[in-house]
Structure 1
Amino acid sequence: MSQLIMPQASGAVGSPLSLAIKNTSELDQAHAHILLFGETKSGKTTCATSIVEPSLIRVVSTQPEEQLAHLKKLGIDYVRVRTAREVDHVLDAPRQFFSGEWNTLVIDDYTELINFYETRFRNEIKDGRQVYKAIKDHARNSLEALLEGDYHLIVTALERSLEDDFKLPWIKPDLPPSTMSLITSKFSFIFYCLGSPNFKLRTRRDTSRRIFAGNRLPKDKVNAFSDEETSDLKQLWAKYQQAIR
Protein backbone atom coordinates (compact mmCIF):
# COMPACT_ATOMS: atom_id res chain seq x y z
CA MET A 1 0.00 0.00 0.00
CA SER A 2 1.33 3.45 -0.89
CA GLN A 3 2.31 5.78 1.93
CA LEU A 4 2.60 9.55 1.70
CA ILE A 5 5.62 11.12 3.40
CA MET A 6 5.51 14.80 4.30
CA PRO A 7 9.06 16.03 4.96
CA GLN A 8 9.79 18.10 8.06
CA ALA A 9 10.60 21.77 7.68
CA SER A 10 14.32 22.25 7.08
CA GLY A 11 14.56 25.96 6.61
CA ALA A 12 14.33 25.68 2.83
CA VAL A 13 12.08 28.17 1.10
CA GLY A 14 9.08 26.77 -0.78
CA SER A 15 6.17 24.38 -0.37
CA PRO A 16 6.75 21.00 1.32
CA LEU A 17 7.10 18.03 -1.03
CA SER A 18 4.65 15.16 -1.04
CA LEU A 19 6.40 11.92 -2.03
CA ALA A 20 4.74 8.51 -2.21
CA ILE A 21 6.41 5.32 -1.00
CA LYS A 22 5.21 2.39 -3.09
CA ASN A 23 5.88 -1.34 -3.29
CA THR A 24 7.23 -3.10 -6.38
CA SER A 25 4.51 -5.74 -6.09
CA GLU A 26 2.03 -3.03 -7.10
CA LEU A 27 3.79 -2.26 -10.36
CA ASP A 28 1.72 -2.67 -13.50
CA GLN A 29 3.02 -1.27 -16.78
CA ALA A 30 -0.13 0.04 -18.37
CA HIS A 31 1.46 1.56 -21.47
CA ALA A 32 4.07 0.41 -23.96
CA HIS A 33 6.99 2.59 -25.05
CA ILE A 34 8.38 1.18 -28.30
CA LEU A 35 10.92 2.21 -30.92
CA LEU A 36 10.64 0.53 -34.32
CA PHE A 37 13.48 1.12 -36.76
CA GLY A 38 14.49 -0.20 -40.14
CA GLU A 39 14.84 0.59 -43.81
CA THR A 40 12.24 2.45 -45.83
CA LYS A 41 9.32 0.14 -46.67
CA SER A 42 10.24 -2.34 -43.94
CA GLY A 43 6.74 -2.21 -42.42
CA LYS A 44 7.45 0.18 -39.53
CA THR A 45 4.23 2.20 -39.77
CA THR A 46 2.03 -0.83 -40.33
CA CYS A 47 3.59 -2.51 -37.31
CA ALA A 48 3.26 0.63 -35.18
CA THR A 49 -0.49 0.68 -35.75
CA SER A 50 -0.99 -2.97 -34.81
CA ILE A 51 -1.02 -2.60 -31.02
CA VAL A 52 -4.71 -1.63 -30.56
CA GLU A 53 -7.85 -1.04 -32.59
CA PRO A 54 -7.32 1.65 -35.30
CA SER A 55 -9.95 3.95 -33.76
CA LEU A 56 -7.79 4.27 -30.63
CA ILE A 57 -4.66 5.39 -32.52
CA ARG A 58 -3.46 8.90 -33.37
CA VAL A 59 -0.53 9.38 -35.75
CA VAL A 60 1.87 12.32 -36.00
CA SER A 61 3.45 11.93 -39.43
CA THR A 62 6.50 13.74 -40.80
CA GLN A 63 6.05 11.97 -44.14
CA PRO A 64 4.21 12.89 -47.36
CA GLU A 65 0.62 11.71 -47.18
CA GLU A 66 1.09 9.01 -49.81
CA GLN A 67 3.32 7.24 -47.28
CA LEU A 68 0.16 6.56 -45.24
CA ALA A 69 -1.94 5.35 -48.17
CA HIS A 70 -1.60 1.72 -47.09
CA LEU A 71 -3.45 2.62 -43.87
CA LYS A 72 -6.50 4.07 -45.65
CA LYS A 73 -8.82 1.17 -44.86
CA LEU A 74 -7.98 1.43 -41.15
CA GLY A 75 -9.45 4.94 -40.84
CA ILE A 76 -6.81 6.27 -38.40
CA ASP A 77 -6.78 9.94 -37.38
CA TYR A 78 -3.46 11.61 -38.20
CA VAL A 79 -1.79 14.97 -38.60
CA ARG A 80 1.04 15.73 -40.99
CA VAL A 81 3.73 18.04 -39.61
CA ARG A 82 6.30 19.78 -41.81
CA THR A 83 8.26 21.99 -39.41
CA ALA A 84 9.62 21.95 -35.87
CA ARG A 85 7.00 24.53 -34.89
CA GLU A 86 4.20 22.24 -36.08
CA VAL A 87 5.77 19.29 -34.26
CA ASP A 88 5.84 21.20 -30.98
CA HIS A 89 2.28 22.45 -31.47
CA VAL A 90 1.06 18.85 -31.51
CA LEU A 91 3.46 17.12 -29.12
CA ASP A 92 3.41 19.77 -26.39
CA ALA A 93 -0.17 18.73 -25.61
CA PRO A 94 -1.32 15.76 -27.72
CA ARG A 95 -4.41 15.21 -25.55
CA GLN A 96 -5.57 18.73 -26.35
CA PHE A 97 -4.74 18.48 -30.04
CA PHE A 98 -6.37 15.12 -30.77
CA SER A 99 -10.03 14.81 -29.84
CA GLY A 100 -12.03 11.74 -28.98
CA GLU A 101 -11.05 8.59 -27.15
CA TRP A 102 -7.58 7.25 -27.93
CA ASN A 103 -4.79 5.43 -26.11
CA THR A 104 -1.92 5.18 -28.61
CA LEU A 105 0.31 7.90 -30.07
CA VAL A 106 2.49 7.02 -33.06
CA ILE A 107 5.29 9.35 -34.19
CA ASP A 108 6.33 8.45 -37.75
CA ASP A 109 9.20 9.09 -38.13
CA TYR A 110 11.54 10.46 -35.47
CA THR A 111 14.57 10.62 -37.78
CA GLU A 112 12.83 13.26 -39.89
CA LEU A 113 11.52 15.00 -36.77
CA ILE A 114 15.12 15.50 -35.59
CA ASN A 115 15.92 16.96 -39.01
CA PHE A 116 13.12 19.50 -38.48
CA TYR A 117 14.72 20.54 -35.20
CA GLU A 118 18.13 20.85 -36.86
CA THR A 119 16.69 23.16 -39.53
CA ARG A 120 15.01 25.28 -36.88
CA PHE A 121 18.01 25.71 -34.61
CA ARG A 122 20.46 26.32 -37.45
CA ASN A 123 18.27 29.28 -38.40
CA GLU A 124 17.90 30.53 -34.83
CA ILE A 125 21.39 29.99 -33.39
CA LYS A 126 24.44 31.65 -34.89
CA ASP A 127 26.98 29.65 -32.89
CA GLY A 128 27.13 26.31 -34.67
CA ARG A 129 28.56 24.66 -31.56
CA GLN A 130 25.31 25.32 -29.74
CA VAL A 131 23.02 23.92 -32.44
CA TYR A 132 23.36 20.26 -31.48
CA LYS A 133 23.06 21.06 -27.78
CA ALA A 134 19.78 22.84 -28.51
CA ILE A 135 18.54 19.86 -30.55
CA LYS A 136 19.56 17.45 -27.78
CA ASP A 137 17.89 19.44 -25.02
CA HIS A 138 14.70 20.16 -26.96
CA ALA A 139 14.20 16.60 -28.22
CA ARG A 140 14.98 15.15 -24.81
CA ASN A 141 12.54 17.42 -22.98
CA SER A 142 9.80 16.67 -25.51
CA LEU A 143 10.32 12.91 -25.37
CA GLU A 144 10.48 12.85 -21.56
CA ALA A 145 7.12 14.65 -21.39
CA LEU A 146 5.55 12.20 -23.85
CA LEU A 147 6.77 9.25 -21.77
CA GLU A 148 4.66 10.53 -18.87
CA GLY A 149 1.50 10.41 -21.01
CA ASP A 150 -1.42 8.05 -20.37
CA TYR A 151 -1.04 6.27 -23.71
CA HIS A 152 1.12 3.83 -25.63
CA LEU A 153 3.98 5.69 -27.33
CA ILE A 154 5.24 4.12 -30.56
CA VAL A 155 8.11 5.86 -32.37
CA THR A 156 9.55 4.88 -35.75
CA ALA A 157 12.99 5.74 -37.12
CA LEU A 158 15.19 4.90 -40.06
CA GLU A 159 18.26 2.70 -39.69
CA ARG A 160 21.90 3.48 -40.30
CA SER A 161 25.06 1.39 -40.37
CA LEU A 162 27.93 2.54 -38.16
CA GLU A 163 31.43 1.12 -37.83
CA ASP A 164 32.90 0.34 -34.43
CA ASP A 165 36.58 0.61 -33.43
CA PHE A 166 37.27 -2.63 -35.28
CA LYS A 167 35.69 -1.33 -38.51
CA LEU A 168 32.77 -3.73 -38.10
CA PRO A 169 29.29 -2.40 -38.97
CA TRP A 170 26.44 -2.07 -36.49
CA ILE A 171 22.87 -1.49 -37.68
CA LYS A 172 21.33 1.09 -35.35
CA PRO A 173 18.50 3.65 -35.33
CA ASP A 174 19.35 6.81 -37.26
CA LEU A 175 19.05 9.10 -34.24
CA PRO A 176 21.49 11.35 -32.32
CA PRO A 177 23.38 9.67 -29.46
CA SER A 178 21.62 11.83 -26.86
CA THR A 179 18.19 10.78 -28.11
CA MET A 180 19.23 7.13 -28.27
CA SER A 181 20.55 7.22 -24.70
CA LEU A 182 17.13 8.38 -23.50
CA ILE A 183 15.30 5.79 -25.59
CA THR A 184 17.61 3.00 -24.43
CA SER A 185 17.08 3.91 -20.78
CA LYS A 186 13.35 4.72 -20.87
CA PHE A 187 11.74 2.61 -23.61
CA SER A 188 10.76 -0.97 -22.88
CA PHE A 189 11.23 -2.21 -26.43
CA ILE A 190 13.54 -1.44 -29.35
CA PHE A 191 12.60 -3.63 -32.30
CA TYR A 192 14.31 -3.89 -35.67
CA CYS A 193 11.94 -4.30 -38.63
CA LEU A 194 13.43 -6.91 -40.95
CA GLY A 195 11.20 -6.02 -43.89
CA SER A 196 10.50 -8.14 -46.98
CA PRO A 197 9.78 -10.95 -47.44
CA ASN A 198 8.64 -11.94 -43.94
CA PHE A 199 8.31 -8.51 -42.24
CA LYS A 200 9.36 -9.85 -38.85
CA LEU A 201 10.71 -8.01 -35.81
CA ARG A 202 14.11 -8.56 -34.28
CA THR A 203 13.46 -8.42 -30.52
CA ARG A 204 17.01 -8.60 -29.16
CA ARG A 205 20.54 -7.94 -30.33
CA ASP A 206 21.75 -10.00 -33.24
CA THR A 207 25.50 -10.36 -32.75
CA SER A 208 25.99 -12.32 -35.96
CA ARG A 209 24.51 -9.56 -38.11
CA ARG A 210 25.28 -6.89 -35.47
CA ILE A 211 21.79 -5.44 -35.21
CA PHE A 212 20.85 -3.23 -32.27
CA ALA A 213 17.59 -4.29 -30.59
CA GLY A 214 16.33 -5.14 -27.11
CA ASN A 215 13.52 -5.51 -24.59
CA ARG A 216 12.93 -5.41 -20.83
CA LEU A 217 11.69 -8.92 -20.24
CA PRO A 218 12.59 -10.25 -16.75
CA LYS A 219 15.70 -12.45 -16.74
CA ASP A 220 13.65 -15.54 -15.93
CA LYS A 221 11.25 -14.81 -18.80
CA VAL A 222 13.65 -13.87 -21.59
CA ASN A 223 12.31 -16.67 -23.76
CA ALA A 224 8.83 -15.14 -23.79
CA PHE A 225 9.94 -13.48 -27.03
CA SER A 226 11.57 -15.37 -29.85
CA ASP A 227 14.60 -13.72 -31.45
CA GLU A 228 12.33 -12.88 -34.39
CA GLU A 229 8.62 -12.30 -33.96
CA THR A 230 5.68 -11.55 -36.23
CA SER A 231 5.13 -7.80 -36.64
CA ASP A 232 2.11 -7.77 -34.34
CA LEU A 233 2.58 -5.41 -31.38
CA LYS A 234 -0.74 -6.38 -29.82
CA GLN A 235 0.46 -9.98 -29.58
CA LEU A 236 3.89 -8.99 -28.26
CA TRP A 237 2.40 -6.62 -25.68
CA ALA A 238 0.16 -9.43 -24.42
CA LYS A 239 3.19 -11.73 -24.13
CA TYR A 240 5.07 -9.08 -22.17
CA GLN A 241 2.17 -8.41 -19.81
CA GLN A 242 1.90 -12.13 -19.12
CA ALA A 243 5.64 -12.40 -18.47
CA ILE A 244 5.75 -9.67 -15.81
CA ARG A 245 2.78 -10.99 -13.83
Structure 2
Amino acid sequence: MALARQAVPPFVHLAAHPVRWRLLAELSNGDYRVRELVVRVGEPQNLVSYHLRLLRDSGLVTASRSSNDRRDSYYHLDLDRAAEMLTGACAALHPALQMASTPTELESSVPSMVLFVCAGNSARSAIAEALLRQRAGGRVEGLSAGTRPKPFMHANTVRVLWEEFGIDLSDQRPRHLDTLIDQPFDAVVTLCDKAREICPDFGDDPRWIHWSIPDPVASGSEDSYPAFLATAAEIDTRIRYLLPTLTALDPTKRSA
Protein backbone atom coordinates (compact mmCIF):
# COMPACT_ATOMS: atom_id res chain seq x y z
CA MET A 1 0.00 0.00 0.00
CA ALA A 2 2.85 2.38 0.83
CA LEU A 3 4.40 1.80 -2.60
CA ALA A 4 1.06 2.45 -4.31
CA ARG A 5 0.85 5.87 -2.62
CA GLN A 6 4.31 6.95 -3.80
CA ALA A 7 4.57 9.54 -6.57
CA VAL A 8 5.60 8.22 -9.96
CA PRO A 9 9.38 8.72 -10.29
CA PRO A 10 10.23 11.65 -12.62
CA PHE A 11 12.07 9.49 -15.16
CA VAL A 12 9.11 7.14 -15.53
CA HIS A 13 6.76 10.09 -15.99
CA LEU A 14 9.01 11.70 -18.59
CA ALA A 15 9.95 8.58 -20.54
CA ALA A 16 6.44 7.11 -20.59
CA HIS A 17 5.23 9.55 -23.25
CA PRO A 18 5.91 8.02 -26.69
CA VAL A 19 7.24 11.24 -28.25
CA ARG A 20 9.58 11.92 -25.35
CA TRP A 21 10.76 8.31 -25.41
CA ARG A 22 11.60 8.57 -29.12
CA LEU A 23 13.41 11.86 -28.52
CA LEU A 24 15.44 10.29 -25.73
CA ALA A 25 16.26 7.31 -27.95
CA GLU A 26 17.45 9.53 -30.80
CA LEU A 27 19.49 11.81 -28.53
CA SER A 28 21.12 8.81 -26.86
CA ASN A 29 22.98 8.34 -30.16
CA GLY A 30 24.25 11.91 -30.55
CA ASP A 31 23.35 15.60 -30.74
CA TYR A 32 20.69 16.89 -33.15
CA ARG A 33 18.97 20.10 -34.17
CA VAL A 34 15.20 20.49 -33.85
CA ARG A 35 14.52 20.11 -37.56
CA GLU A 36 16.54 16.88 -37.61
CA LEU A 37 14.61 15.50 -34.65
CA VAL A 38 11.34 16.41 -36.39
CA VAL A 39 12.33 14.16 -39.29
CA ARG A 40 13.68 11.37 -37.08
CA VAL A 41 10.63 11.09 -34.81
CA GLY A 42 8.07 11.97 -37.50
CA GLU A 43 6.19 14.59 -35.47
CA PRO A 44 5.36 18.30 -36.07
CA GLN A 45 7.99 20.82 -34.97
CA ASN A 46 5.75 22.49 -32.39
CA LEU A 47 5.13 19.13 -30.70
CA VAL A 48 8.81 18.21 -30.77
CA SER A 49 9.76 21.61 -29.33
CA TYR A 50 7.18 21.25 -26.56
CA HIS A 51 8.50 17.87 -25.44
CA LEU A 52 12.12 19.03 -25.74
CA ARG A 53 11.26 21.87 -23.36
CA LEU A 54 9.91 19.39 -20.81
CA LEU A 55 13.06 17.28 -21.13
CA ARG A 56 15.20 20.40 -20.69
CA ASP A 57 13.23 21.46 -17.61
CA SER A 58 13.99 18.04 -16.08
CA GLY A 59 17.73 18.45 -16.65
CA LEU A 60 17.86 15.42 -18.95
CA VAL A 61 18.45 17.46 -22.11
CA THR A 62 20.52 20.58 -22.70
CA ALA A 63 20.76 22.90 -25.70
CA SER A 64 23.73 24.82 -27.09
CA ARG A 65 24.08 27.25 -29.97
CA SER A 66 25.67 25.88 -33.12
CA SER A 67 29.14 27.27 -33.76
CA ASN A 68 28.39 27.01 -37.47
CA ASP A 69 25.04 28.84 -37.51
CA ARG A 70 24.15 30.78 -34.37
CA ARG A 71 20.46 30.62 -35.32
CA ASP A 72 20.56 26.86 -34.74
CA SER A 73 20.83 24.90 -31.50
CA TYR A 74 21.98 21.35 -30.86
CA TYR A 75 20.22 19.23 -28.25
CA HIS A 76 22.19 16.84 -26.06
CA LEU A 77 21.04 14.08 -23.71
CA ASP A 78 22.89 13.93 -20.38
CA LEU A 79 23.36 10.18 -20.14
CA ASP A 80 24.82 10.37 -16.63
CA ARG A 81 21.69 12.21 -15.50
CA ALA A 82 19.49 9.66 -17.28
CA ALA A 83 21.32 6.78 -15.58
CA GLU A 84 20.93 8.46 -12.20
CA MET A 85 17.18 9.03 -12.68
CA LEU A 86 16.61 5.51 -14.01
CA THR A 87 18.53 4.01 -11.10
CA GLY A 88 16.38 6.01 -8.70
CA ALA A 89 13.18 4.84 -10.40
CA CYS A 90 14.21 1.17 -10.14
CA ALA A 91 15.21 1.53 -6.50
CA ALA A 92 11.87 3.20 -5.73
CA LEU A 93 10.06 0.14 -7.08
CA HIS A 94 12.15 -2.37 -5.10
CA PRO A 95 15.59 -2.16 -3.41
CA ALA A 96 16.68 -5.34 -5.20
CA LEU A 97 16.31 -3.52 -8.52
CA GLN A 98 19.10 -1.07 -7.73
CA MET A 99 21.02 -0.68 -10.98
CA ALA A 100 24.60 0.25 -11.74
CA SER A 101 24.76 3.89 -12.83
CA THR A 102 27.81 3.43 -15.05
CA PRO A 103 27.83 2.15 -18.64
CA THR A 104 28.78 -1.44 -19.30
CA GLU A 105 32.17 -2.31 -20.72
CA LEU A 106 32.87 -3.13 -24.35
CA GLU A 107 32.42 -6.85 -24.87
CA SER A 108 33.31 -7.41 -28.51
CA SER A 109 36.65 -9.10 -29.19
CA VAL A 110 36.80 -7.66 -32.71
CA PRO A 111 38.25 -4.11 -32.73
CA SER A 112 36.15 -1.36 -34.28
CA MET A 113 37.68 1.60 -36.09
CA VAL A 114 36.50 5.06 -35.01
CA LEU A 115 37.38 8.45 -36.52
CA PHE A 116 37.03 11.72 -34.58
CA VAL A 117 36.82 14.95 -36.60
CA CYS A 118 36.94 18.63 -35.68
CA ALA A 119 38.35 21.68 -37.45
CA GLY A 120 41.91 22.02 -36.18
CA ASN A 121 42.59 18.53 -34.73
CA SER A 122 44.58 20.31 -32.03
CA ALA A 123 42.05 19.99 -29.19
CA ARG A 124 38.66 18.23 -29.23
CA SER A 125 39.22 15.40 -31.71
CA ALA A 126 42.77 14.78 -30.48
CA ILE A 127 41.49 14.54 -26.89
CA ALA A 128 38.76 12.13 -28.01
CA GLU A 129 41.21 9.88 -29.83
CA ALA A 130 43.54 9.74 -26.83
CA LEU A 131 40.77 9.04 -24.32
CA LEU A 132 39.18 6.36 -26.50
CA ARG A 133 42.51 4.57 -26.85
CA GLN A 134 43.04 4.67 -23.09
CA ARG A 135 39.54 3.51 -22.11
CA ALA A 136 39.27 0.86 -24.83
CA GLY A 137 42.57 -0.80 -23.95
CA GLY A 138 43.21 -1.88 -27.53
CA ARG A 139 39.68 -3.21 -28.10
CA VAL A 140 38.87 -0.18 -30.29
CA GLU A 141 41.13 1.53 -32.79
CA GLY A 142 40.81 5.31 -32.96
CA LEU A 143 42.14 8.08 -35.19
CA SER A 144 41.48 11.80 -35.35
CA ALA A 145 41.79 14.46 -38.04
CA GLY A 146 40.89 18.04 -38.85
CA THR A 147 39.23 19.75 -41.78
CA ARG A 148 41.70 22.63 -41.35
CA PRO A 149 44.42 21.18 -39.10
CA LYS A 150 46.65 23.41 -37.00
CA PRO A 151 50.43 23.10 -37.26
CA PHE A 152 50.78 21.82 -33.69
CA MET A 153 48.73 20.44 -30.82
CA HIS A 154 47.44 23.14 -28.50
CA ALA A 155 49.63 23.36 -25.40
CA ASN A 156 46.60 22.90 -23.15
CA THR A 157 45.61 19.73 -25.01
CA VAL A 158 48.98 18.23 -24.16
CA ARG A 159 48.76 19.56 -20.59
CA VAL A 160 45.26 18.36 -19.75
CA LEU A 161 45.82 14.88 -21.14
CA TRP A 162 49.05 14.49 -19.20
CA GLU A 163 47.97 16.05 -15.89
CA GLU A 164 44.46 14.57 -15.73
CA PHE A 165 44.82 11.24 -17.57
CA GLY A 166 48.53 10.46 -17.73
CA ILE A 167 48.55 10.47 -21.55
CA ASP A 168 51.59 11.89 -23.34
CA LEU A 169 50.61 13.60 -26.58
CA SER A 170 53.68 15.81 -26.89
CA ASP A 171 54.95 14.06 -30.04
CA GLN A 172 51.62 13.95 -31.90
CA ARG A 173 50.84 16.38 -34.70
CA PRO A 174 47.45 17.33 -36.15
CA ARG A 175 46.38 15.31 -39.18
CA HIS A 176 44.44 16.50 -42.25
CA LEU A 177 41.17 14.69 -42.93
CA ASP A 178 42.14 14.23 -46.58
CA THR A 179 44.89 11.79 -45.56
CA LEU A 180 42.24 9.37 -44.27
CA ILE A 181 39.68 9.63 -47.04
CA ASP A 182 40.38 6.07 -48.27
CA GLN A 183 40.43 4.58 -44.77
CA PRO A 184 37.28 2.59 -43.85
CA PHE A 185 35.70 3.36 -40.47
CA ASP A 186 32.93 1.75 -38.46
CA ALA A 187 31.98 5.05 -36.83
CA VAL A 188 32.73 8.70 -37.60
CA VAL A 189 32.27 11.16 -34.74
CA THR A 190 32.25 14.90 -35.46
CA LEU A 191 32.91 17.15 -32.48
CA CYS A 192 32.65 20.46 -34.33
CA ASP A 193 29.45 21.88 -35.82
CA LYS A 194 31.35 23.33 -38.78
CA ALA A 195 33.19 20.07 -39.45
CA ARG A 196 29.89 18.19 -39.40
CA GLU A 197 28.64 20.21 -42.36
CA ILE A 198 31.66 19.56 -44.58
CA CYS A 199 32.89 16.14 -43.47
CA PRO A 200 33.12 13.92 -46.58
CA ASP A 201 31.45 10.56 -46.97
CA PHE A 202 33.39 7.44 -46.05
CA GLY A 203 32.89 4.08 -47.67
CA ASP A 204 31.16 1.04 -46.16
CA ASP A 205 28.37 3.13 -44.59
CA PRO A 206 29.90 3.99 -41.19
CA ARG A 207 27.76 5.04 -38.25
CA TRP A 208 27.64 8.84 -38.06
CA ILE A 209 27.60 10.53 -34.64
CA HIS A 210 27.72 14.22 -33.78
CA TRP A 211 28.87 15.70 -30.48
CA SER A 212 28.31 19.46 -30.41
CA ILE A 213 31.18 20.47 -28.13
CA PRO A 214 32.40 24.11 -27.95
CA ASP A 215 35.98 24.78 -28.95
CA PRO A 216 37.97 25.36 -25.72
CA VAL A 217 40.42 27.50 -27.68
CA ALA A 218 37.59 29.96 -28.35
CA SER A 219 36.57 30.26 -24.70
CA GLY A 220 37.36 33.98 -24.71
CA SER A 221 39.43 33.66 -21.55
CA GLU A 222 43.07 34.66 -21.34
CA ASP A 223 43.67 31.41 -19.45
CA SER A 224 41.85 28.73 -21.47
CA TYR A 225 42.98 25.79 -19.34
CA PRO A 226 39.72 25.59 -17.32
CA ALA A 227 37.85 25.34 -20.64
CA PHE A 228 40.13 22.46 -21.66
CA LEU A 229 39.45 20.72 -18.34
CA ALA A 230 35.69 20.98 -18.92
CA THR A 231 36.03 19.82 -22.54
CA ALA A 232 38.15 16.80 -21.61
CA ALA A 233 35.70 15.82 -18.86
CA GLU A 234 32.74 16.02 -21.25
CA ILE A 235 34.52 14.03 -23.96
CA ASP A 236 35.58 11.40 -21.42
CA THR A 237 31.95 10.97 -20.34
CA ARG A 238 30.81 10.62 -23.94
CA ILE A 239 33.56 8.09 -24.66
CA ARG A 240 32.40 5.96 -21.71
CA TYR A 241 28.92 5.78 -23.20
CA LEU A 242 30.15 5.32 -26.78
CA LEU A 243 32.21 2.20 -26.09
CA PRO A 244 29.32 -0.19 -25.24
CA THR A 245 27.46 0.83 -28.41
CA LEU A 246 30.37 -0.26 -30.59
CA THR A 247 29.50 -3.90 -29.92
CA ALA A 248 26.53 -3.41 -32.27
CA LEU A 249 28.82 -2.52 -35.15
CA ASP A 250 30.18 -5.11 -37.56
CA PRO A 251 33.91 -4.52 -38.16
CA THR A 252 34.05 -7.57 -40.47
CA LYS A 253 32.32 -5.54 -43.19
CA ARG A 254 35.39 -3.30 -43.52
CA SER A 255 37.58 -3.88 -46.52
CA ALA A 256 41.11 -5.01 -45.90
TM-score (structure 2 length as normaliser) = 0.30
More strand by share: 1
TM-score (structure 1 length as normaliser) = 0.31
More helix by share: 2
